[in-house]
Amino acid sequence: MPVQKNAKLIEKIELVPGIFHFKVEAPEIVSTAKPGNFVEIRITHQTAPFLRRPISIYHLDKENGILEFIFQVKGEGTKILSQRKVGEEVDLIGPLGFGTFRFDNYQNLAVIGGGIGIFPLYELCQEAKQAGKQISTYLSFRNQDLVVLEKEFQAVSDHFSLSTDDGSYAKKGFALDYLKEDCKNHSYDCIYACGPTPMLRAIKAFAEEAGIPCQLSLEEKMGCGLGVCLGCAVKIASSPKDAPDYMHVCKAGPVFQSTDVEF
C-alpha cells in the first residue's frame, strides 16, 4: 500500500555531472517495496512545478529503512530536486506500481539496461543474487561521460558486459548486441530490461523471436502516477487494432511481460 512520506535526505552524491544519487529515510516505503517499484516525488510546495515526478527505486536498504534513488537532471523538476540539501526533506509517495520484476520461476537471468534506465535494475540484481540466481548483466551508455554504477552492477553479476555507443569507454556498441552474441552459446530463462523506448522495442522483438520470456520496465510520461489522469496509457497487445484497449503504466506496470504490451 503506497504511503506519503516526508523523508529526510541523509546522503547526496553527484555521480557524474547532472546525475544525483539520493539516500532518504523512508522505512514505511522500504518495508513493502519490490524491485521495479517507483516513487512519485513532490518537487516543491509552491504551485509550480505542480505534478509529482516519477523516479524508480534504485536500492532498498531494508535493515536501516533507507530508500535510494538516482536521477538525471532533465527539466525544471529534476533541477529543483537536485538542489535539495542533506538534512532537508523529500516528499514521496510510494511504493508505486503493481507490475514489478518477478524472478522466482527462473534461474538464469539476463538483465539489460541503457542510460538512466539501468537504475531500477540494480535492486532486481541484488535480490535475485541473494536468492541464488545466476545473473548476466548488459549495460550500455551513450558515451564515457554518462557511465555510472559500473562497480555496483559488477558486484551483483556473475557475468558483466559494459559498452558505450561510441566506444569511448569499455566495448563499442549497444548492450543488445552483446546479449544477442552471448545467446548463441548461453540459454537464459528470462530477460529483464529498462532503457530508452527504441532499445526496449528492439529487446522485445529479439526476446519474442528467440522465445525467451521478457519483462520490460516502461518509463512512459506520467501526470499523476496514481491511475487517475490517463496520461500514461500503453496499448494491450491482444486488443483489436480497430478498437485498441489500454493499460496504465503507473498502475498495471511499470514492469510488463513484453508480450502483453505494444508501444
Ligand X SMILES: Cc1cc2nc3c(=O)[nH]c(=O)nc-3n(C[C@H](O)[C@H](O)[C@H](O)COP(=O)(O)OP(=O)(O)OC[C@H]3O[C@@H](n4cnc5c(N)ncnc54)[C@H](O)[C@@H]3O)c2cc1C
Residues that bind ligand FES (CB under 6 A): 222-225, 227-232, 248, 250
Give me 76's grid cell.
Answer: 525544471
Burial of 223 (0-12, 13-18, 19+ CB in 10 A): middle
**Closest by Cα among 107, 149, 114, 148 to 128:** 107
Based on the shown chain and the rule CB under 6 A, indicate whether residue 174 belongs to the binding site for ligand X. Answer: no
Complex with ligand FES: residue 65 or 223, whichever CB lies closer: 223
Complex with ligand X: residue 177 or 260, whichever CB lies closer: 260
d(C-alpha 206, C-alpha 112), whole Å: 12
Which one of ligand FES, ligand X, none interacts with residue 256, CB within 5 to 8 A by kind?
A: none
Which one of ligand X, ligand FES, none interacts with residue 76, CB within 5 to 8 A by kind?
A: ligand X
Complex with ligand X: residue 204 or 248, whichever CB lies closer: 248
d(C-alpha 93, C-alpha 118), whole Å: 21
Residues 206-225 interacting with ligand X (rule: CB under 6 A): 219-222
Site string for ligand X, 28-47 (x = CB under 6 A): ----------x---------
Based on the shown chain and the rule CB under 6 A, indicate whether residue 49 belongs to the binding site for ligand X. Answer: yes
Please, are residues 229 and 146 in contact by the beta-carbon 8 Å criterion?
no
Question: Binder to ligand X among 7, 24, 33, 55 (CB under 6 A)?
Answer: 55
Burial of 213 (0-12, 13-18, 19+ CB in 10 A): middle
Based on the shown chain and the rule CB under 6 A, indicate whether residue 20 belongs to the binding site for ligand X. Answer: no
Question: Binder to ligand X among 56, 136, 137, 258 (CB under 6 A)?
Answer: 56
Q: Name the region of 173 (left: φ>0; alpha: ψ -120 to 50; beta: rest).
A: left
Complex with ligand X: residue 22 or 188, whichever CB lies closer: 22
d(C-alpha 179, C-alpha 203), whole Å: 10
In the complex, the residues that contact ligand X under the rule CB under 6 A are 38, 49, 51, 53-56, 69-72, 74-78, 116, 119, 219-222, 254
